[in-house]
Structure 1
């Protein structure tokens, strides 16, 4: 996630890390990249009222004006559909021409290693995307021959940033005279107050991604950058019985026992979690900035705000998901043009004013105070090297492993030790497969 249109938001997101650009194309010529195609098939999983959905609808509109003879076949998929079926789909003739895909070793990295994604290195230089994305944001866009992020060739383009934060219902905080917490102890004290008043503090979806983000936030309370590099980039061995993961697992189990989240949340999906918070049923939701624009548009019955997870210097977050071009795309040139439109000032500024975190917007064009706050908090993280990526990135299939593991902590079927053992095994097996 980098913000820098001609240096405007780059200062917010740039880091001192520089990553060498490997300019190695896939050897295709424009003639066989579908420059004359009459259809562009596009998949993504952002809701139409989300910041990304709003911005990308505008991009489709601009694309149609630029290519009046081309039909855009847009299909909205769920995150789960693409997460679970991408490998099979991209190996078939029903692959789309361009799609949104999750970044990280276990997802985009795995597909790049399998030869299912188009190498975009030449396009990065041709369109100037390398100038718009700082080193920290390029980390998730490039992968080596083993599918490990951070070096090698470009296989995706992120055009927004994201991070996990705490959303809170101001009306419920005021009702129980709770101040916005600035320390971890104040945060747990606030949740204790809600529990004493028979209010479950946290809206949680355990059937999908949000619950594991809470576990990771708790683990990161005891982590430093060296741990993140070891866990995500395999720089050194990770001890799953060490202080970081042990604390995260135990603290999460403690939160369940204290009533901070309901045991029924093990079966709740992310969408249902978000809707329940929008309806004012829970005072707190811990999840990503991708909800922000939607909440701006849909929460009408109470005032709300956000804050970073108290006490942490590291938080789940990264560049946003990637635009990838499947190797079997029949309209690669059109796909590149669509990606470039999403990086344009018009679309990037709209993204920022719709509650998203753009990578190439003009700060002066972001007019809403809440949206400025969103981007400023992201700036705090990037300027302090505070993005720790996501817990499910290190190994193929690890997302499902973590979902099942955290569900066990929620419903009490697994102890913290059993949880640690369960998530350690596939992680270590992946390292063995990589010869590490």
Structure 2
């Protein structure tokens, strides 16, 4: 493959995501409707909004408030349509280019998803809206990385095609009561993590849950690779700056470590048929002491866990971790209400809605952090800022190609089932990755 060098060093500097640096933005959603869009100006019109957030999640709570404000300010009605991440991930290119397209939708960021749709004209260029509403001033350079895509659909430069509406990252949830019962300390190194898992295993407890059918195990695999990687490796993997060595120390460590943990019973082989929801429920129901997954679960953990204390900690002994600005609002090319869509997006970026997002267990990107009072929310923000302080956010493993989410899940299932050895798993992933990347990077 011939790799084209990209000047993206500044764009990849994700330290600017720190919530401590977020400004309060301009204005407030409590401004009278007549001062913003005109009360009743859009009466009789309908905005079709699509997302894949649970109603009781932090984002679901915040977007419900945004819908309420939007309807009061504009006089328009919202047709709110819920879907799943997997369903939209598989169908967006067709749905957004059809007469059934939503007017505005949450969508997955990255080269293989939003980038591909931007490059093919399926989602709208938002440069004018960014200039009108001042969204870039609220985001910072790190989050803006996932909002911009060039002509090839590669993130970090070019025009704006999406608006990140929250931050997210992946960390370790743990059952503090089970840790106390078996005298296990919160690990600060991967060696201590393995010791902890062995202690649980010796006491007849499967230490960690995950899902090979959906995203959690792929993100765990990526975290293990990141624990042996540096920022240049992330740039090479995500932005195609240099070829990736699929038998190098980063990926080899990740794949062989997962296989070892499966063989030792630290992770049950039942995860091959489990979805993310299944894994999350195992943890919520107190069946396992550890679950490695994202901040998008946090609000639910606070509301659904009734029988034990939930602890959170960053992955031990690493600088880099999966994470970024959260999913993005996009406006499909076939949107029938693009101007109303922009008004709605702007409301979701307002201090009132962003503060509610933080209070509900999410990570706001445009909040005045002084407005976030809840101690649980503050704990999450503190953990997030630890990652930002070390320039640790490293995006997600499935971003490089349009099909890599499914490709990676399939290989993870094969690793669990014994269909693939670690070497075979890496060869499969190399083929999937390089087949696509060569089409993007060729001169």
**Deviation, structure 1 residue 220:** 0.7
Counterpart residue number, 2:340? 334
Which of 22, 45, 52 is equivalent to 2:52?
45
Where does 1:193-232 land on structure 2 (aligned, <5 Å)? 193-232=199-238
**Deviation, structure 1 residue 431:** 2.0
Contact kept in structure 2, 1:207 and 1:268, CA below 8 Å: yes
**Deviation, structure 1 residue 433:** 0.9
Counterpart residue number, 1:74? 80
TM-score under structure 1 normalisation?
Answer: 0.92
Contact kept in structure 2, 1:160 and 1:359, CA below 8 Å: yes
Contact kept in structure 2, 1:96 and 1:326, CA below 8 Å: yes
Which of 43, 65, 70 is equivalent to 1:63?
70
Counterpart residue number, 2:189? 183
Contact kept in structure 2, 1:3 and 1:132, CA below 8 Å: no
**Deviation, structure 1 residue 152:** 0.2
Contact kept in structure 2, 1:264 and 1:411, CA below 8 Å: no
**Deviation, structure 1 residue 9:** 3.3
1:323-348, CA deviations, whole angstroms, 9 ceiling, x for partnerless residues? 00001000011110110011101100
Counterpart residue number, 2:379? 373
Mapped partners of 2:418, 2:182: distance in 1? 29
Mapped partners of 2:388, 2:63: distance in 1? 24
**Deviation, structure 1 residue 356:** 0.4
Kindly indicate whether residue 14 of structure 2 is the aligned counterpart of residue 10 of structure 1: no
Structure 2 SS opposite 1:306 = strand
1:245-302, CA deviations, whole angstroms, 9 ceiling, x for partnerless residues? 1111111111111111110111101111111211101110000000001111111111
Contact kept in structure 2, 1:170 and 1:302, CA below 8 Å: yes
Mapped partners of 1:37, 1:235: distance in 2? 50
Counterpart residue number, 1:28? none
**Deviation, structure 1 residue 10:** 2.1
Mapped partners of 1:121, 1:35: distance in 2? 24
1:27-59, CA deviations, whole angstroms, 9 ceiling, x for partnerless residues? xxxxxxx97870101110010111111111111
Cα pair distance change 1:329/1:186, threshold 3 Å: same
Mapped partners of 2:199, 2:217: distance in 1? 22
Counterpart residue number, 2:4? none
Contact kept in structure 1, 2:44 and 2:77, CA below 8 Å: no
Kindly indicate whether residue 274 of structure 2 is the aligned counterpart of residue 268 of structure 1: yes
Counterpart residue number, 1:27? none
Mapped partners of 1:274, 1:56: distance in 2? 23
Greater Cα shift, 404-413 or 216-225 = 404-413
Mapped partners of 1:11, 1:85: distance in 2? 34
Contact kept in structure 2, 1:2 and 1:161, CA below 8 Å: no
Unpaired runs of 5+ residues, structure 2, are 1-13, 24-40
Mapped partners of 2:428, 2:301: distance in 1? 35
Structure 2 SS opposite 1:111 = helix
1:220-252, CA deviations, whole angstroms, 9 ceiling, x for partnerless residues? 111000000000001111110111111111111
Contact kept in structure 1, 2:174 and 2:312, CA below 8 Å: yes
Mapped partners of 2:418, 2:431: distance in 1? 20
Mapped partners of 2:355, 2:406: distance in 1? 35
TM-score under structure 2 normalisation?
Answer: 0.90
Mapped partners of 1:126, 1:67: distance in 2? 18
Structure 1 SS opposite 2:394 = coil
Mapped partners of 1:422, 1:121: distance in 2? 38
4+ residue stretches of structure 1 with deviation over 6 A? 1-4, 34-37
Counterpart residue number, 1:386? 392
Mapped partners of 1:315, 1:292: distance in 2? 17
**Deviation, structure 1 residue 3:** 7.8
Mapped partners of 2:317, 2:435: distance in 1? 33
Unpaired runs of 5+ residues, structure 1, are 13-33
Mapped partners of 2:363, 2:92: distance in 1? 26
Where does 1:292-307 land on structure 2 (aligned, <5 Å)? 292-307=298-313
User: CA RMSD of the aligned region, Å?
Assistant: 1.8
Mapped partners of 1:392, 1:273: distance in 2? 19
